[in-house]
């Protein structure tokens, strides 16, 4: 949000929110349903759980939900919701009875539905020494699909000791099952390609031999194909233990985000794509990327796809067991290197010069180092009123950690009154190279001040910066410039911490608290975030103007920040959304970091009372009116399974 403002306290958890619906901060590999400062609850009996959760407001809300569910889905829906809530209270987690688990009556209706286009779907599964219980569960999950126009292509490369795999498959009398027995195991990529060759479907769905599909998976896919002409589809998923009964973690994903995808393979399962798209993307999986062959394929497919659709429902159950990637990818270093190689190959295809490195503390996550083209001038704009010590700290860290020499700094003096400030200005002119001062005499209007300063700038790129920022990471300017130089990128933001080493900003989501809020706010500085969203670069709807870089041409094309409607608050979010509307993407990089002593220089307008607070509320309401359709539709980079009540990735 606008960098001089703290966010409204309404984003904090309300009294009636489920206390066990908060996410772990352990990243993509960790136990869910645990708040950053909590231990997971011990399993209770139902009676003890009811007593422990005896909050009248909570029970009032639960009864309200039950009434709505009964009206919508009858007693079957009420039973599903009740089981889900009981699991939350007794175990602190649940997965089997979330709203995206279809009811029997819904599945019956899906079986009878006739779409305008009824594509034939080939579910391709490479088999290798598959344990029979896993094999049977997988086949059963496919045959139970509510959409029936499919085939199941099984490519069996099992060794001589596993003849029971093929024998078990042959016992199924369903003609939709096609078994291809291989004489030798050529690796998962080559085996999968044989399955692609045998598939006769219009679309291909990938399924691992030890995983399961939700019974409505193919129905939801075909619905997306018909409604959105999708040629690449993916869904949310959950990771379960080897019994498929105990939750590992949720993978609730954003809509398609290319920079996020280059940070880690967040798409994985369920992936479905048209056969034409597969051909256009260069055919099947490539053996040189074994271990990350699906990652490479997804990167190539999404480059060529015309309509990528994310279905925000759990349609895939990923089994975690010894030896599986879901269990621990760090045990397979070749897979990690193959993932880095797949990203490098994409950079080459897209003409994006750069390097890729794996993140040692986050197995399966990557950093892209984009090369700087030439040496363009960057203009840093810092509004300031008094607070000479804060400004000095900001400038010292800026010059120390920029990691890039070709920049100028414009400090915009706005009605300072302290003698100490003027003394610092005089000294700063000689202490810092390429530093200039301009004076803005009007009342504080953050948007107007920055727009005014841009007129004096000479840089090809603009870095808006608060005077209460203290940089922490080396080469932060080079890092941000690497993204800003890409024509498809609008605003580039940094990862900011509060002085207590918790997350203040890692990108902005629309809809949190009814307007907008920060990604993972309050999580520990060391947290990797949900699915590595604090550890890797992320496409976001917006980033804070406290530290935001943008191409000057883009800034001018939009007419800068909105001085009239968003003088103090929401101007940065509005600016980023206007950039997004022009067809460019915004990005937050966690490799440019700083402390943000938020609102220290001006105070917190959201709690100030009087005209300051009234102005904030007016601007907040103006933002809500302007972006009501977007708020209603939901932020594409935020998953609807997450709450809008607070900012730390809690579940609904």
The pLDDT, as a whole number, for residue 79 is 76
Q: Which of 55, 88, 105 is the last residue of a domain?
A: 105
The pLDDT, as a whole number, for residue 6 is 33
- Pick the range with the lowest mean pLDDT from 40-54, 266-280, 351-365: 40-54
Asked whether 241 and 321 are in contact (CB, 8 A), the reply is yes
The pLDDT, as a whole number, for residue 155 is 97
Closest CA to 29 of 336, 359, 324, 329: 329
Query: How far is Cα of residue 539 from the mean position of the Cα atoms in its chain?
Result: 7
The three-class DSSP label of residue 471 is strand
Q: Which of 85, 105, 125 is the last residue of a domain?
A: 105
Which distant-in-sequence residues (6+ apart) come within 8 Å of 176 by Cβ? 143, 150, 151, 152
The pLDDT, as a whole number, for residue 47 is 59
The pLDDT, as a whole number, for residue 34 is 33
Closest CA to 542 of 500, 568, 512: 512
644 lies in some domain:
no
The pLDDT, as a whole number, for residue 303 is 98
Residue 433: CB atoms within 10 A of its CB come to 10
**Residue 40 to residue 24: CA distance in whole angstroms:** 10
**Entry field: residues in the chain:** 652
Statement to judge: residues 485 and 406 lie in one domain? yes
49 lies in some domain:
yes
Tokens of 147: 């959409």
DSSP-H helix ranges across 151-201: 163-170, 188-198
Average pLDDT value for the chain? 87
**Residue 554 to residue 93: CA distance in whole angstroms:** 46
pLDDT in tens, 257-288: 999 999 999 999 999 999 999 999 999 999 99
DSSP state for residue 542 in the 8-state scheme:
B
To 10 degrees, the CA torsion angle through 23, 24, 27, 31?
-110
The three-class DSSP label of residue 594 is strand
> How does strand 378-384 pair with strand 407-413?
parallel
Q: How confident is the model at residue 27 (pLDDT cuts 50, 70, 90)?
A: very low
Which distant-in-sequence residues (6+ apart) come within 8 Å of 571 by Cβ? 2, 446, 447, 545, 561, 562
Statement to judge: residues 128 and 250 lie in one domain? yes
Peptide bond into 397 cis (omega under 30): no
> Global pTM?
0.87
Q: Torsions phi, psi of 504, nearest 5?
A: -100, -40
Asked whether 218 and 206 are in contact (CB, 8 A), the reply is no
Number of H helices and E strands in the chain, helices first, is: 19, 23
Statement to judge: residues 148 and 261 lie in one domain? yes
The pLDDT, as a whole number, for residue 63 is 62
Q: Which of 307, 327, 347 is the last residue of a domain?
A: 327
Query: In the chain, how long is the greatest CA-to-CA distance?
Result: 89
DSSP-H helix ranges across 203-332: 217-228, 258-263, 275-280, 293-304
Residue 568 β-bridge partners: none
The pLDDT, as a whole number, for residue 158 is 93
**Residue 585 to residue 576: CA distance in whole angstroms:** 9
**Residue 455 to residue 460: CA distance in whole angstroms:** 12
Q: Torsions phi, psi of 159, nearest 5?
A: -75, 175
340 lies in some domain:
no
End-to-end CA distance of the chain: 23
Q: What angle do CA 259, 263, 268 make, to 5 degrees?
A: 100
Q: In this prediction, what percent of the chain has a pLDDT beyond 90? A: 75
With a cut of 90, say whether residue 418 has pLDDT above it: yes
Closest CA to 381 of 411, 356, 359, 353: 411
**Residue 596 to residue 465: CA distance in whole angstroms:** 10
SS3 content of the chain, % helix, strand, coil (to 5): 35, 20, 40
What's the domain count of the chain? 3
pLDDT in tens, 489-535: 999 999 999 999 999 999 999 999 999 999 999 999 999 999 999 99
Asked whether 150 and 218 are in contact (CB, 8 A), the reply is yes
The pLDDT, as a whole number, for residue 91 is 60
Q: How confident is the model at residue 11 (pLDDT cuts 50, 70, 90)?
A: very low
- In 93-187, where do the E strands start and end? 121-127, 150-156, 177-181
For 527-549, give one letter per residue: b (16+ CB within 10 A) or e. bbbbbbbbbbbbbbbbbbbbbbb
Average pLDDT over residues 306-326: 86
- In 466-614, where do the E strands start and end? 469-471, 489-497, 503-505, 508-510, 516-518, 538-540, 547-551, 585-596
Average pLDDT over residues 166-172: 91
Average pLDDT over residues 201-230: 97
Rg (CA), the chain: 27
DSSP state for residue 330 in the 8-state scheme:
G
The domain of 74 spans 30-34+42-105
Q: How confident is the model at residue 75 (pLDDT cuts 50, 70, 90)?
A: confident
**Residue 150 to residue 230: CA distance in whole angstroms:** 17
Q: How confident is the model at residue 600 (pLDDT cuts 50, 70, 90)?
A: very low
Asked whether 343 and 337 are in contact (CB, 8 A), the reply is no
Statement to judge: residues 101 and 117 lie in one domain? no
With a cut of 60, say whether residue 31 has pLDDT above it: no
Sign of CA pseudo-dihedral 86, 87, 92, 96: negative
With a cut of 90, say whether residue 57 has pLDDT above it: no
Statement to judge: residues 415 and 558 lie in one domain? yes
Statement to judge: residues 285 and 144 lie in one domain? yes
pLDDT in tens, 547-595: 999 999 999 999 999 999 999 999 999 999 999 999 999 999 999 999 9
**Residue 87 to residue 44: CA distance in whole angstroms:** 10
Statement to judge: residues 303 and 412 lie in one domain? no
pLDDT in tens, 612-637: 888 999 999 999 999 999 999 999 99
Average pLDDT over residues 396-407: 98
Q: How confident is the model at residue 10 (pLDDT cuts 50, 70, 90)?
A: very low
Q: How confident is the model at residue 601 (pLDDT cuts 50, 70, 90)?
A: very low
Statement to judge: residues 91 and 120 lie in one domain? no
With a cut of 60, say whether residue 407 has pLDDT above it: yes
**Residue 281 to residue 297: CA distance in whole angstroms:** 8
The CATH number linked to 139 is 3.90.550.10
Statement to judge: residues 256 and 194 lie in one domain? yes
369 lies in some domain:
no
DSSP-H helix ranges across 182-242: 188-198, 217-228
The pLDDT, as a whole number, for residue 557 is 98
Residue 587: CB atoms within 10 A of its CB come to 25
The pLDDT, as a whole number, for residue 401 is 98
Statement to judge: residues 60 and 137 lie in one domain? no
Q: Return left, alpha or beta for 50; rule: phi > 0 is left, psi -120 to 50 is alpha, else beta.
A: alpha
Q: How confident is the model at residue 488 (pLDDT cuts 50, 70, 90)?
A: very high
The pLDDT, as a whole number, for residue 54 is 56
**Residue 6 to residue 513: CA distance in whole angstroms:** 13
Residue 490 β-bridge partners: none
8's enclosing H/E stretch is none
Q: In this prediction, what percent of the chain has a pLDDT beyond 70? A: 83
2 lies in some domain:
no
Asked whether 544 and 508 are in contact (CB, 8 A), the reply is yes
Statement to judge: residues 236 and 311 lie in one domain? yes
524 lies in some domain:
yes
With a cut of 70, say whether residue 24 has pLDDT above it: no
Q: Which residue has the higher pLDDT, 86 or 405?
A: 405
The three-class DSSP label of residue 33 is coil
Residue 234 β-bridge partners: 271, 310
Asked whether 287 and 342 are in contact (CB, 8 A), the reply is no
**Residue 453 to residue 412: CA distance in whole angstroms:** 7
6 lies in some domain:
no
pLDDT in tens, 424-453: 999 999 999 999 999 999 999 999 999 999
Statement to judge: residues 122 and 67 lie in one domain? no
pLDDT in tens, 537-552: 999 999 999 999 999 9
Average pLDDT over residues 136-148: 97
Asked whether 128 and 158 are in contact (CB, 8 A), the reply is yes
Asked whether 508 and 588 are in contact (CB, 8 A), the reply is no
The pLDDT, as a whole number, for residue 23 is 28
Give the burial class of 44: count Cβ atoms within 10 A of its Cβ; 0-12 exposed, 13-18 middle, 19 or more buried.
Answer: middle
Query: How far is Cα of residue 146 from the mean position of the Cα atoms in its chain?
Result: 30
Q: What angle do CA 546, 548, 553 make, to 5 degrees?
A: 140
183 lies in some domain:
yes
């Amino acid at each position: 949000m606008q960098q001089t403002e703290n966010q409204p306290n309404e984003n904090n958890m309300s009294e009636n929110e489920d206390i066990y619906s908060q996410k772990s901060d352990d990243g993509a590999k960790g136990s869910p349903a645990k708040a950053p400062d909590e231990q997971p609850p011990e399993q209770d009996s139902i009676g003890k759980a009811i007593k422990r959760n005896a909050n009248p407001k909570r029970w009032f809300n639960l009864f309200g939900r039950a009434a709505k569910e009964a009206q919508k889905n009858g007693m079957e829906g009420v039973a599903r919701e009740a089981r889900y809530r009981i699991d939350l209270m007794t175990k602190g987690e649940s997965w089997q009875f979330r709203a995206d688990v279809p009811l029997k009556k819904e599945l019956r209706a899906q079986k009878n539905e006739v779409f305008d286009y009824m594509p034939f779907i080939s579910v391709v599964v490479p088999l290798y020494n598959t344990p029979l219980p896993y094999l049977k569960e997988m086949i059963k999950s496919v045959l139970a699909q509510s959409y029936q126009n499919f085939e199941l292509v099984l490519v069996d490369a099992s060794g001589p000791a596993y003849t029971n795999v093929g024998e078990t498959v042959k016992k199924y009398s369903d003609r939709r099952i096609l078994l291809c027995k291989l004489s030798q195991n050529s690796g998962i990529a080559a085996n999968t390609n044989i399955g692609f060759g045998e598939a006769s479907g219009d679309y291909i769905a990938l399924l691992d031999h030890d995983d399961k599909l939700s019974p409505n998976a193919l129905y939801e896919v075909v619905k997306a194909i018909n409604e959105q002409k999708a040629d690449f589809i993916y869904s949310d998923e959950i990771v379960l233990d080897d019994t498929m009964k105990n939750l590992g973690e949720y993978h609730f994903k954003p809509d398609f985000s290319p920079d996020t995808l280059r940070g880690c393979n967040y798409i994985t399962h369920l992936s479905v794509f048209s056969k034409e798209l597969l051909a256009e993307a260069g055919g099947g999986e490539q053996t040189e990327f074994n271990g990350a062959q699906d990652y490479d394929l997804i990167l190539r497919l999404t480059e060529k796809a015309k309509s990528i659709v994310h279905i925000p429902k759990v349609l895939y159950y990923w089994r975690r067991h010894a030896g599986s990637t879901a269990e621990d990818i760090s045990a397979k270093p070749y897979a990690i290197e193959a993932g880095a190689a797949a990203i490098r190959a994409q950079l080459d295809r897209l003409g994006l010069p750069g390097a890729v490195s794996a993140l040692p503390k986050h197995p399966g996550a990557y950093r892209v180092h984009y090369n700087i083209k030439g040496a363009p001038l960057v203009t840093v704009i810092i509004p300031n009123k008094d607070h000479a010590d804060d400004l000095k700290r900001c400038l010292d860290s800026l010059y120390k950690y920029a990691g890039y020499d070709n920049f100028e700094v414009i400090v915009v003096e706005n009605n300072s009154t302290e003698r100490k400030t003027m003394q610092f200005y005089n000294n700063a002119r000689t202490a810092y190279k390429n530093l200039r001062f301009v004076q803005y005499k009007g009342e504080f209007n953050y948007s107007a001040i920055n727009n005014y300063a841009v007129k004096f700038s000479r840089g090809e790129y603009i870095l808006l910066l608060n005077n209460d920022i203290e940089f922490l990471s080396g080469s932060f300017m080079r890092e941000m410039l690497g993204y800003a130089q890409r024509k498809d990128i609008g605003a580039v933001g940094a990862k900011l911490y509060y002085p207590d080493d918790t997350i203040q900003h890692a990108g902005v989501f629309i809809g949190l608290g009814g307007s907008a809020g920060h990604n993972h706010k309050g999580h520990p500085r060391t947290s990797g975030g949900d699915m590595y969203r604090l550890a890797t670069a992320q496409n976001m709807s917006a980033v804070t103007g406290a530290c935001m870089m943008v191409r000057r041409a883009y800034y001018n094309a939009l007419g800068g920040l909105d001085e009239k409607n968003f003088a103090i608050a929401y101007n940065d979010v509005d600016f980023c959304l206007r950039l997004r509307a022009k067809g460019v993407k915004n990005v937050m990089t966690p490799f440019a970091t700083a402390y943000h002593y938020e609102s220290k220089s001006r105070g917190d307008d959201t709690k100030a009372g009087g005209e300051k607070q009234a102005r904030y509320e007016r601007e907040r309401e103006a933002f809500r009116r302007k972006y009501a359709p977007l708020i209603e539709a939901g932020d594409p980079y935020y998953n609807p399974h997450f709450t809008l009540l607070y900012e730390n990735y809690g579940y609904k």
